Structure 1
Amino acid sequence: MESTFRTPDTSPVVVGVDGSDSARTAAMWAAREAVRRERPLHIVYGADTDGRALYLSGEAVERVRANGRGLLDDTAQAVQAEHPGLRVTTEFSRADAVTSLHRAGALHGTIVVGNRGLGGFNSLMLGSVGLDVAAGAMAPVIVVRGVDGTEETGTVLAAFRDEHDLLYARYAAREAELRKGSLRLLHVWNILQSVGQVVSMLDGIDEIAGAHAEALQAVQDAVCEEFPDLEVRADAEKSVSVAGVLVEASRHADLLVMGGRRVPGPLGIARNLGRATHSVLHHAHCPVLLIPRTGSDFGSRS
């Protein structure tokens, strides 16, 4: 399978702002990522003035433009005050936020969005813009979560499904190298689903577990061969909730890397995130890097 994205060390960093505290947090986090990767930071504000042109007066449109450009300037100044050597560009877009970020990220960018909380339990939840960006992007998307007042652990966590996830494990390894940290490959398998799929081929749970461990070991070996100086740990866990295990493991990671599980919506367009992906984006305790999968993965239900 060919990659539709560049490796982290060559990707521009694109971040969306909208005036919310979570978006500002995401912008500052994205700036640190851009410095780490030695890439410029591109800050985008999607005003949606084109979509609302029939409902806004000329004066209202001008106010939106002034407020948006003011927000871009303020964010850029805050970023450059913290990172004086960072190259920062801004973009005021007349399109909506989702379209603006998809265009800015294109095929070879890394898009960063914030987690928009509403207070109470809902503060755990990802907003609709973030979900739509993650679901429709052809570029990697990072949802910034769990970064307020937390210390770095030095660990990048990679969710592993099967041997076809070597591409995403390699991406996660590069992220760990950028952070001068370690990589943890985590494979979670649902015992009930696995039994249903392979009962005709395997005699028992031990053989099922062995098959999963063998696939995980093969990926770990390949990553270690390519990244000989990187500490790589691989774990396999049984659970009825893949998302639950990944969310708990994210408490001890600086970044969770996942291959994007997308399923077709109307007309076969992949705009819907799979169940596990959706849950992790809502509840993870660290930023989540979601990497797009190709059309052959649309049938995944995880």
Structure 2
Amino acid sequence: MEVNVTGPQRGSVIVGIDGSKPAYRAALWAAEEASRRGTALHLVHGADTDSRALYASVETIERVRRTGRELLDDTARAVTERHPGLRVTKEFSRSGPVPSLHRAAARYGTIVVGSRGLGGFNSLMLGSVGLKVAAEATTPVIVVRGAEGQADTGVVLVGVRDEHDLDCALYGAREAELRKASLRLLHVWNVLQSVGSVVTMLDDIEDIAGEHERSLTAVAEEVRHEFPDLHVEADAAKSMSASGVLVEASRHADLLVMGGRRKPGYIGRTLGRATHNLVHHAECPVLLIPRNGTKNGGES
């Protein structure tokens, strides 16, 4: 099924490359992330030659394989020039990009993808292959978004929906610590979703607001306990659009961390509406942490 040049290490940062500029930028970003974490970078090119072999000529398949391996070599050379001490491994896969990346990440890797790809034969486009990578992953996935070369803000932003996002907040805290940045926990709640009617809203708005504040405060206190030297801010906002508030906040962050909520026994893509909007519109890279659904099976 696969041809490994060198296999990934446990906990590696895994990045998909396809020859597009966004994928190349994602590889450079992933190299910096791996260097920060002190782990290896694993480059994956999913050529999908197994399925194409049924109708493509032998010469075409061989050309695709040669091009893929050259792409791996060129990318590895580029990242090691920038990070000489970084361990870089490479994998040319005969499978498609999605199963190749998931298989390489296994249980312990972090997958990085670009915000869009080439389209066609070797595409890694968010909304098609990249979106499937994010939606079906059981390990963290980072979508590299934002303007190329934008200045660091010194802030890691975490979208907190409720107390079940504690693991997500702790993951964000570790990322902030690695970057020597501060952590901002942001909870966005919709008044009309929290109550059954406007009359109820007018009667209970203070109690509802208090519940949201308490949930956020509980997460923030636990993070401060685990990371006593980290500067942590916790903010709550009321809005009809959680994704809109988070997209605006992402303009002032180096990384946006979100929990990817799933329903038990899910089938197909499982990104909720807010998360789907963020991976398409955020102004900085988005890190998605897989998360099980709540008891009522809700998604965000």
Matching residue's letter, 1:293 = R
Matching residue's letter, 1:99 = P
Aligned 1:1-302 pairs, distance under 5 A: 11-116=11-116, 126-196=126-196, 203-262=203-262, 268-294=266-292, 296=294, 299-302=297-300
Question: In the comparison of the two structures, how many residue pairs are matched?
Answer: 285
Q: Is the 8 A contact 2:109 2:139 kept in 1?
A: yes
Aligned mates of 1:269, 1:298 — CA distance in 2: 17
Matching residue's letter, 1:290 = L
Aligned mates of 2:185, 2:293 — CA distance in 1: 24
- Cα offset, 1:299, TM superposition: 2.3
Aligned mates of 2:295, 2:253 — CA distance in 1: 26
- Cα offset, 1:263, TM superposition: 5.1
Change (3 A) 1:242 1:117: farther
Matched-pair identity in %: 67
Aligned mates of 1:93, 1:277 — CA distance in 2: 29
- Cα offset, 1:32, TM superposition: 0.3
Q: Is the 8 A contact 2:263 2:293 kept in 1?
A: no
Q: Is the 8 A contact 1:262 1:297 kept in 2?
A: no
Q: Which moved more, 1:291-300 or 1:148-157?
A: 291-300
- Cα offset, 1:240, TM superposition: 0.4
TM-score (norm 2): 0.90
TM-score (norm 1): 0.89
How large is the Cα RMSD of the aligned pairs?
2.2
- Cα offset, 1:75, TM superposition: 0.2
Q: Is the 8 A contact 1:281 1:288 kept in 2?
A: yes
Report the equivalent of 2:121. none
Aligned mates of 1:293, 1:136 — CA distance in 2: 11
Q: Is the 8 A contact 1:42 1:91 kept in 2?
A: yes
Partner SS for 2:209: helix
Change (3 A) 1:177 1:268: closer
Gaps of 5+ in 2: 1-9, 119-124
Matching residue's letter, 1:276 = A
